[in-house]
Amino acid sequence: MKDYSEYFKGPSLRDAKHRGKDEIHHIDDAYEVPADMIGIGKGQKYFIQTYGCQANERDGETLAGILESLGYEATDEIKDAQVVLLNTCAIRENAEEKVFGKIGYLKKVKRTNPNVIFGICGCMAQEEVVIQKILEKHQQVDMIFGTHNIHRLPVLLKQAMLDKEMVLEVWSKEGDVIENLPSHRAHPYKAWVNIMYGCNKFCTYCIVPYTRGKERSRLKNEIIEEVNELKAQGYQEITLLGQNVNSYGKDFDDGYNFASLLADVAQTGIPRIRFTTSHPWDFTDDMIDTIAQYDNIMPAIHLPVQSGNSEVLKRMGRRYSREQYLELFDKIKTKIPDCTITTDIIVGFPGETDEQFEDTITLYEHCEYDLAYTFIYSPRAGTPAAKMEDDIDIHTKEQRLYRLNDLVNEKALKQNQKYLDEVVEVLVEGTSKKDDNMLTGYTRHQKLINFKGNQDHIGQIVPVKVTEVKTWALKGEEIE
């Protein structure tokens, strides 16, 4: 097998914590299409499958934009595609297993269509163990490229077309913010806008600081310009994206921060602004005041707690105690009384005792979240938690998850009941998948609602009366 060591300059999990404070480069001319790649995809199709979070979804839009700029068209059928990309997620083991299942399936596709080019990108492509496994066992893969190499797709695709060996490019050069990439947005009325990349928090269970590199912010002007363009194109809603949005601006030296950005984005007048994800540690009073002040910043905050026990939080490296989290939570609810708050929780962190898990339950009872995404802890190779002793068996962990999920459902229904008979504003996204006669969309508080209404109003924000509430969604009728 070819020696790939010179191509793989990937961030070593060991080295990542010793990140230098090297300068962050904002580059607007990095995207390059080799002359002989222009129009190469004419008459051909591409298929991209994206796993994981919104950051990955946004990357998927960029990948789609790049392939379309080369002339390829999208298809939903792998068998019709000449280029297939799996844009992967590494957050938990089951996310990776799904991808390996798909990689196995691609072997069959390659037998019937030997000219297809298969690429693996996204967070798994940043992991040495994954790359090793693909090199050893999955020769049907033609190219692997990392999260910092997306703009190089035209060049890598050319290499893959010419070269019989697998093309591998994973850079540890993680300090750049690359602008001006093509993009094909997935939705016509709501859009994701990256504001920062990477993460420096190093929670002990989490792979993201390694796969996405160091924290770096986009320049304010680039973000505002993007929002203004989206507004001019008729977009109604934007979601500001970052692994940790409230760290925005920490790499600037002028004090411009996430609260400042939120206010400036609000002043563009785009009808709806959301943001995700926030870390409780640097959620400032200024941020809360700004959210309260502007009507176009939606009162719906995702505020991951992870555990309700201070000792577990400490071992998770979360930088706050149960008490500090609750203080922040209560402050948000006081200053923005109608604000919905959702969260993420991990059960079965190494060594989590029954009593410590009970603290998560009592915290949940206090917060009565609108919704929670709950997970069983999954060890990630190279992270500090993966080396911690874990004497809790999987059966106990599963029981904790089921118990927590029952509480999540109970509170979700309770919170939704507040909206019964109320009139809510809904951004109409289209017709419901289950019933053509029903429209579907989200309220200001990020509640999914299916309702009877006027199809001509798709893409607009309309008033809807809530007639029925369920755990996962509301039902209603548009007010004419």
Binding residues for [4Fe-4S] cluster: 53, 89, 123, 199, 203, 206
**Residue 208 in the binding site for ligand SF4 (CB under 6 A):** yes
**Residues annotated in a binding site:** 53, 89, 123, 199, 203, 206
- In this structure, what token pair is assigned to residue 381? 């190779």
Is 256 buried (19+), middle (13-18) or exposed (0-12) by CB count in 10 A? middle
Cα–Cα distance between 437 and 443 in angstroms, integer? 19
90 contributes a contact to ligand SF4 by CB under 6 A: yes
Applying CB under 6 A, the span of 50-58, 77-85, 132-140, 449-457 interacting with ligand SF4 comes to 50-58
From the list 358, 285, 349, 360, the residue with the least C-alpha distance to 317 is 349
Is 206 a residue that touches ligand 5AD (CB under 6 A)?
yes
Look up tokens 């006027």; give the residue. Answer: 454
Q: What's the token pair of residue 123?
A: 């967070």
396: contact with ligand 5AD by CB under 6 A: no
Q: Which residue has the tokens 């802890």?
A: 377
Minimum Å distance from CB 205 to ligand 5AD? 4
Number of chain residues interacting with ligand 5AD (CB under 6 A): 12
Stated as kind and residue range, the H or E segment containing 241 is strand 237-241
Q: Kindly state the tokens that stand for 33.
A: 């299409």
Q: Nearest-CA neighbor of 217 among 275, 257, 183? A: 257
- Which of these ranges, 134-142, 176-184, 244-252, 373-381, lies near ligand 5AD under the rule CB under 6 A? 373-381
DSSP codes joined into one string, 367-398: H--SEEEEEE----TTSGGGGS-----HHHHH
Interaction of residue 346 with ligand 5AD, rule CB under 6 A = yes
> In this structure, which amino acid lies at residue 376?
I
Does 53 participate in binding ligand SF4 (rule CB under 6 A)? yes
Per the rule left: phi > 0, alpha: psi between -120 and 50, beta: everything else, 385 is alpha
Per DSSP, the chain holds a count of helices (H) and strands (E) of 13, 21
Interface with ligand 5AD includes 99 (CB under 6 A)? no
Residue choice 69, 140, 183, 211 for contact with ligand SF4 (CB under 6 A) = 211
The gap from C-alpha 317 to its chain's centroid, in whole angstroms, comes to 21
Give the C-alpha separation, 208 to 345, whole Å: 16
Q: List the structure tokens of 247.
A: 């760290």
- Residue 375's binding partner among ligand SF4, ligand 5AD, none (Cβ under 5 to 8 angstroms by kind) is ligand 5AD
The yes or no reply on residue 91 touching ligand 5AD (CB under 6 A) is yes
Q: Is 302 in the site for ligand 5AD (CB under 6 A)?
A: no
User: Which of 205, 275 has the CB closer to ligand 5AD?
Assistant: 205
205 touches ligand 5AD (CB under 6 A): yes
User: Which does residue 304 touch among ligand SF4, ligand 5AD, none (CB within 5 to 8 A, set by kind)?
Assistant: ligand 5AD
User: Which residues is 442 bridged to in the sheet?
Assistant: 427, 448
Q: Does 372 participate in binding ligand 5AD (rule CB under 6 A)?
A: no
Beta bridge partners of residue 47, listed in sequence order:
84
Structure-token pair, residue 145:
């490229």
CB distance 360 to 404 below 8 Å: yes
205 binds, among ligand SF4, ligand 5AD, none (CB under 5 to 8 A by kind): ligand 5AD
Q: Does 380 bind ligand 5AD (CB under 6 A)?
A: yes
Count of CA atoms in the C-beta half-sphere (13 A) of 43: 1
Tokens for 449? 């609602």
Select from ligand SF4, ligand 5AD, none the partner in contact with residue 408, using the beta carbon and a kind-dependent cut-off of 5 to 8 Å: none
Residue nearest to ligand SF4 (CB): 52
Which option in ligand SF4, ligand 5AD, none does residue 307 bind, with CB closer than 5 to 8 A by kind?
none
Q: Which does 90 bind (CB under 5 to 8 A by kind): ligand 5AD, ligand SF4, none?
A: ligand SF4
Can you read off the two tokens belonging to residue 192? 């994701």
Q: Give the footprint of ligand SF4 on residues 282-301 (CB under 6 A).
A: none
**The residue type at 40:** I
Q: How far apart are CA 64 and CA 61, in angstroms?
A: 5
- 211 makes contact, choosing from ligand SF4, ligand 5AD, none, with CB < 5 to 8 Å by partner type, with ligand SF4
Q: Is the sign of the CA dihedral 90, 93, 94, 98 positive or negative?
A: positive
Residue 101 Cβ, how far from ligand 5AD at the closest point, in Å? 19
Q: Does 375 contact ligand 5AD by CB under 6 A?
A: yes
Residues between 111 and 140 that touch ligand SF4 (CB under 6 A): 122-123
Per rule CB under 6 A, is residue 89 in the interface with ligand 5AD? no
CA distance 434 to 91: 31
Among 146, 304, 350, 476, binds ligand 5AD (CB under 6 A): 304
Say whether residue 89 binds ligand SF4 (CB under 6 A): yes
Binding mask 54-83 for ligand SF4 (x = CB under 6 A): -xx---------------------------
Q: Are strands 461-469 and 423-431 parallel, antiparallel or unpaired?
A: antiparallel
Q: Which residues bind ligand 5AD (CB under 6 A)?
A: 91-92, 205-206, 304, 306, 344, 346, 375, 377-378, 380
Q: Which residues bind ligand SF4 (CB under 6 A)?
A: 52-53, 55-56, 89-91, 122-123, 207-208, 211-212
